[in-house]
């Protein structure tokens, strides 16, 4: 088996030297495609991460009455936690709210003799899409009685339109990113496969002669598959080198000065290298093996 593998490897290298132009075209196509894929993956991750972060801040604010006691706050906390679709409830006392507002606008709140702010509960739903249902359960709009969940509750935040817009935008971003990713992968496979098919077409006479003298399909196919693996691996390595150089020379200096670039958490460089290497080798090998089928029908 080792002798056979060495034989196929030598045949693949010899064929690449004899057909330098088609092999180079396939190599260039794979390299450019993987560079685009390597840039697109972090962009999609950053976009989806930003959309998910915005959706994770969706909540319902429940404002207590000014005369609400600590016992009422404790009771309402239990009632809110018991609601379906509620993931977390955060309590903010009127003192904490006043301190926060004084930090943001010290001149306006320093002149106040009392505290006009109420105790507040920030209710986070299990999923962003459940926020409207949670609000309806608290303010009573989802029940026949139409009463608040508790008599100590003064009001519930009325940001229905803003919440709907945020959920719509988040859903649209997620769907768009998924569609673009699918289109890019499909385009990459078709482009690489077509380039490999053109390379094989230039060598169709060689395949036909080998077939006519009695060579088996797999005897003919293995050198092409190995050639596809080699070309895919070299193309992936070149793409990784270009992306690494761009990261070190361009992205890292910008990230140190621009918060927008440094904030998103995306795939690390090493896993991205492995993904591109696996993609280049797999697509090239499959493209070579599958594209060769039509030339084996002699």
Give, for all 298 residues of the chain, the pLDDT tens digit: 444 667 667 776 776 777 677 778 778 888 888 888 888 877 777 776 666 666 667 788 999 998 888 999 999 999 999 998 898 899 999 888 888 877 777 666 666 667 778 899 999 888 877 888 888 888 887 666 678 888 899 888 866 666 667 667 777 877 887 787 777 767 766 776 676 677 667 667 777 777 777 777 777 777 777 777 888 888 888 988 888 888 788 776 766 665 544 445 566 767 878 888 888 888 777 777 666 666 666 5
Interatomic CA distance for residues 251 and 254, integer angstroms: 5
At 80 the pLDDT is: 92
At 1 the pLDDT is: 41
Interatomic CA distance for residues 295 and 297, integer angstroms: 5
For residue 62, the surrounding DSSP H or E stretch is strand 60-64
Instruction: Report if pTM > 0.85.
Output: no
**Contact (CB, 8 A) for 130 and 42:** no
Kind of pairing, strands 60-64 and 120-125?
A: antiparallel
**Contact (CB, 8 A) for 13 and 219:** no
CA distances to 16, 21, 180, 276, 290 from 187, in Å: 25, 23, 10, 15, 17
Q: Domain boundaries in the chain?
A: 2-54+167-296, 58-160
At 173 the pLDDT is: 73
Neighbours of 270 (CB within 10 A): 9
Considering the domain 58-160 in this protein, what is its CATH number? Answer: 3.30.70.3040
Q: List the one residue out of 163, 108, 101 whose CA is nearest residue 130.
A: 163
**Contact (CB, 8 A) for 41 and 267:** yes
């Amino acid at each position: 088996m080792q002798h056979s593998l060495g034989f196929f490897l030598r045949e693949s290298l010899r064929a690449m030297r004899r057909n330098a132009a088609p092999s180079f075209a396939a190599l260039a196509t794979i390299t450019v495609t993987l560079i685009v894929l390597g840039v697109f993956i972090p962009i999609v991750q950053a976009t989806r991460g930003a959309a998910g972060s915005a959706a994770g801040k969706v909540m319902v604010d429940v404002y207590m009455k000014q005369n609400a006691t600590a016992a009422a706050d404790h009771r309402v906390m239990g009632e809110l936690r018991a609601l379906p679709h509620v993931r977390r409830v955060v309590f903010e006392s009127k003192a904490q709210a006043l301190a926060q507002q004084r930090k943001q606008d010290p001149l306006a709140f320093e002149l106040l003799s009392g505290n006009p702010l109420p105790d507040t509960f920030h209710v986070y739903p299990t999923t962003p899409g459940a926020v409207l249902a949670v609000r309806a359960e608290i303010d009573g709009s989802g029940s026949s009685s139409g009463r608040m969940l508790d008599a100590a509750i003064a009001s519930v935040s009325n940001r229905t339109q803003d919440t709907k817009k945020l959920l719509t935008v988040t859903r649209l971003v997620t769907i768009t990113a998924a569609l673009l990713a699918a289109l890019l992968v499909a385009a990459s496979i078709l482009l690489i496969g077509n380039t490999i098919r053109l390379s094989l077409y230039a060598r169709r006479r060689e395949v036909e002669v080998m077939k006519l003298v009695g060579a088996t399909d797999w005897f003919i196919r293995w050198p092409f598959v190995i050639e596809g693996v080699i070309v895919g691996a070299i193309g992936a390595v070149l793409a990784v080198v270009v992306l690494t150089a761009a990261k070190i020379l361009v992205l890292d200096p910008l990230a140190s000065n621009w918060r927008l670039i440094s904030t998103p958490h995306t795939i690390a460089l090493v896993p991205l290298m492995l993904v591109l290497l696996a993609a280049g080798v797999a697509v090239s090998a499959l493209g070579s093996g599958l594209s060769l089928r039509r030339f084996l029908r002699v």
